[in-house]
Amino acid sequence: MAKRFPENFLWGGAVAANQIEGAYLEDGKKLNVTDVLVGIMNQPDLKWNGSKWEPALVPNKKYLSHEAIDFYHRYHEDLEYMHQMGFKAFRTSISWGRIFPNGDEAEPNEAGLKFYDDLFDEMIRLGMEPVITLSHYEMPLHLLTEYGGWLNKKMIDFWMNYVTVVFNRYKGKVKYYMTFNEVNNIFRMPFAAGGVLDINPKNTERVNADLTMQQLYQATHYLFVAHAKTVKLGHEIDPEMKVGCMLSLSHIATYPYTCDPDDILGVVDHRRKHYLFLDVMCKGQYPGYVKRIWRENDVHVEMSEDELNTIANFTSDYIAFSYYRSTVYHKDAAIRVDTGGSAGLNNPYLKETSPEPWCWPVDPKGLRFVCNDLNDRYGLPLFIVENGIGLDEAVDENGKIQDDFRKRYIHDHLVQVQESIEDGCEIMGYLYWGPIDIVSAGTGEMRKRYGFVYVDRNNDGEGSLDRYKKDSFDYFAKVIASNGEDLTYTE
């Protein structure tokens, strides 16, 4: 019997406002956190003026995200490409600073609201469900420099003001929301992923140099409260609305290097750093293992019974996640984390990595492992909202972009999505990350291209911004047209 995808499966692609829109100070928008970064793994361009942090954009430095691929002005053209591929859904984010430029205003910016009205209307006209991230590394910078971001409990009220405006404005247009993109990266990337800034630093030469576990766990708690309140509000405003969490879950596919119990327990500890977010946002409770961490590190998170009740009663409707690669853990080897997930030892059982310079291990079965693990632990619908491969590409002498590696990557991962569905996982959809070339979040460059559509812009900022279809464009269109029954490809 042939393996099938559900009839209502949401095929499509995913992007983020800060990586695609450009127009970074247009129509009332002010700076957000990623506007002062070139790649979220780097230090932000802020300086200490003697009393507070302030923006310090460097003249002649290439902040490619400031113009990105000019989706803000070209979205009609770009969505038409997605329509030609047959997209059923398109994920993007609302740039919070377009709605509340500083983040703490009482009234929203109408120009920003209208832009997303028009954008969502165009998606719907073309037959695509808008799938919207409320915060995708796009907090207004003012909220960090003035309040410290999520280190400050006032953030919950600022957030709820923003979310209330958005939910009411787009009621009936947007059914699927996610709160905070990959918020489980807060401990590695607190400025961009967590929206956290130490505004009383001892070290004023480096942002967040002195952040403590106490601060990060307290900020995480406020984020959990805000997430639960968002779920509650969404259901009150529109009972049909679905509000999910969105996490980077490549980390779950971390394998022990040996059967040494220390390797096994090391993997358990590593995964728990990410299960914590799922346990709270999906089960509604703090697990015992984090309470041990708090005891042993003298962490005392301030929380009220009312907050804990809110977290317990308003959990995620679904789990949205990114998956790019797996890794291998050894007790004596370093393991690092970047935007693709964890990176430890090489896995000798995997056949290939992506081409240089990134060389990410390709592990489609790791995606099946993650889906089954999430299904067994949480029993919620799963939404694969990021999976893709970045390649260093150029137009050849015939005006073509041949990306056979991408076709094979998608094929192999979708085979494992089929297997996961056969295993009993309820999977809502598959949104390929970066269906059009965008600015890389991790490296801040254009060279790392994910798209089915090539954009003529280079790392030096030069280029016409013209769009061209790659070979994978027709392949993914065929996959969608067959609802995943035809995954065959040619190289």
Residue 260 lies in a domain: yes
Residue by residue, what is the 3-state secondary structure of 363-414?
A: CHHHHHHHHHHHHHHHCCCEEEEECCCCECCCCCCCCCCCCHHHHHHHHHHH
Residue 487 lies in a domain: no
pLDDT given for residue 265 in this prediction: 97
The neighbour count for residue 54, using CB atoms within 10 Å, is 12
Q: Which domain range does residue 24 map to?
A: 10-482
Question: Which stretches within 238-302 are classed as H helix?
Answer: 261-278, 288-296
pLDDT given for residue 342 in this prediction: 82
Rg from Cα positions in the chain: 21
Residue 489 lies in a domain: no
Dihedral pair phi/psi, residue 384, rounded to 5°: -80, 100
> Count of domains in the chain?
1
**Tens-of-pLDDT digits for all 491 residues of the chain?**
567 899 999 999 999 999 999 999 999 999 999 999 999 989 999 999 999 999 999 999 999 999 999 999 999 999 999 999 999 999 999 999 999 999 999 999 999 999 999 999 999 999 999 999 999 999 999 999 999 999 999 999 999 999 999 999 999 999 999 999 999 999 999 999 999 999 999 999 999 999 999 999 999 999 999 999 999 999 999 999 999 999 999 999 999 999 999 999 999 999 999 999 999 999 999 999 999 999 999 999 999 999 999 999 999 999 999 999 999 999 999 887 777 788 889 999 999 999 999 899 999 999 999 999 999 999 999 999 999 999 999 999 988 999 999 999 999 999 999 999 999 999 999 999 999 999 999 989 999 999 999 999 999 999 999 999 999 999 999 999 999 999 999 88
The residues pairing with 391 across neighbouring beta strands, listed in sequence order, are 449
Does residue 480 sit in helix, strand or coil? helix
The neighbour count for residue 285, using CB atoms within 10 Å, is 12
Q: Return the DSSP state at 231.
A: H
pLDDT given for residue 165 in this prediction: 98
Catalytic residue among 205, 386, 393, 419: 386
Residue 491 lies in a domain: no
pLDDT given for residue 490 in this prediction: 85
Residue 373 lies in a domain: yes
The neighbour count for residue 287, using CB atoms within 10 Å, is 14
Residue 213 lies in a domain: yes
pLDDT given for residue 284 in this prediction: 98
- The pair of three-digit structure tokens given for residue 452, joined into one six-digit string: 């089915």
Contact criterion met (CB below 8 Å) for 177 and 134:
yes
**Alpha carbon separation from 300 to 52, 153, 156 (Å, rounded):** 27, 15, 19
The reply to whether 491 belongs to the active site is no
The residues pairing with 150 across neighbouring beta strands, listed in sequence order, are none
What is the four-CA torsion angle of 36, 42, 46, 50, rounded to 10 degrees?
170
Residue 5 lies in a domain: no
Contact criterion met (CB below 8 Å) for 163 and 123:
no
Residue 488 lies in a domain: no
What is the four-CA torsion angle of 254, 256, 261, 263, rounded to 10 degrees?
-80
Check which CATH number belongs to the domain holding 219 and give it: 3.20.20.80
The neighbour count for residue 414, using CB atoms within 10 Å, is 22
pLDDT given for residue 400 in this prediction: 93
Contact criterion met (CB below 8 Å) for 348 and 255:
no
pLDDT given for residue 1 in this prediction: 55
